[in-house]
Each structure stands twice: as structure tokens, then as C-alpha cells.
Amino acid sequence: MDQLSEILEHPLYQQHRKAIDDCEKDRYFCGHDTQHFLDVARIGYIYVLEHHLPISKAVVYAYAFLHDIGRDVEYNGGEAHDLASLKIAKLILKTSSYTEKDQALILSAIGQHRDGSQGDSDTFEGLMYRADKQSRACYQCEAEAACHWAKHKKNMTIEV
């Protein structure tokens, strides 16, 4: 089994994915589904390649599929999703074949994925922050005007 499959097939991952889907079934704003995770992963991996970081595709994809896994906790009145995602991801990664170094990097990026100060950083954390924001097509979203995201976080252009 490859490393991403270890995450996707983990019972805790599946439990939270289902709960997120249930919470977002009538959501007007953009969601936190597999398409979002794939978009973040693909953009993130392009950034890693462009910046010549020695980080594997498996690490980027792990980050992408875990960074919002605590959304249901926040929706149900719990803690902020970045903190919840960090706790859930730690439990999932603990049983995976990712090295301790890779787990630490993934968890660091998850913990900082809402930290706007990462926006200009060329670290893995900064690149994943940008990949998350760039994955959203705010420039063509019908809900953009009502969206609670700060204007500077919205992706209002296509960057090439």
C-alpha cells in the first residue's frame, strides 16, 4: 500500500471525511472535498518543484489530504479546524510509514496553514499555505461577495 492510501484508508480519516461531507452537503461556499485536496496537492507539488525543495510528492499529498480533516470538529462547535486537523493528522500519521521527519514537516504545515505570515515564505509551510489559497477560484465564485475570507486571502486571479 502506498503512503497516501494508508491515510485515505485509515478509519479515523474516513470517519472525519464522512462527517465533513455531511456538514457541507448544503454549503453555499466552497467545500473541503477530494477535489480541494487534489488541487492543493497538485499546486503544492508544483511549488515544491519550482523551489527545488527536497520534499517528496507523498509528503505534499499527505499535507493536502490532512490539512482540513478537522473541519467537522469546527462545524460542530469544537476548536478551530487547524488545531483539530493537527490532532487528527498526528493520530493518523502515527500509524503510517511516513518517517518521523516527514510527519513533523506535514504536521508543521498543517498547524500553520491558516497563518497569514506564511504567505511570503518559501518554506514548505509557506508554499502549502499559498497552494491552499491558490486552489480556490474566488475570481469566478458566485459566493465570493458573501464569503467571509479576508480580501487579501481570496484568489482573484490566475497566476502563471
Question: What string of pLDDT tens digits covers the 160 residues of the chain?
Answer: 699 999 999 999 999 999 999 998 988 788 888 999 999 999 999 999 999 999 999 999 999 999 999 999 989 988 989 899 999 999 999 999 999 999 999 999 999 877 777 777 899 999 999 999 888 888 887 878 888 878 877 888 887 7
For the domain covering 3-153, report its CATH number: 1.10.3210.10
What distance in Å separates the CA atoms of residue 104 and residue 143, rounded to the nearest whole number? 35
Among 15, 44, 10, smallest CA distance to 118 is for 44
Domain ranges of the chain: 3-153
Would the CA dihedral through 129, 16, 35, 41 be positive or negative? positive
This prediction has a pTM of: 0.92
* Angle, helix 81-94 to helix 57-66, in steps of 10 degrees: 130
3-state secondary structure of 75: helix
How far, in Å, are 41, 50, 158 from residue 141 at the CA level? 21, 28, 13
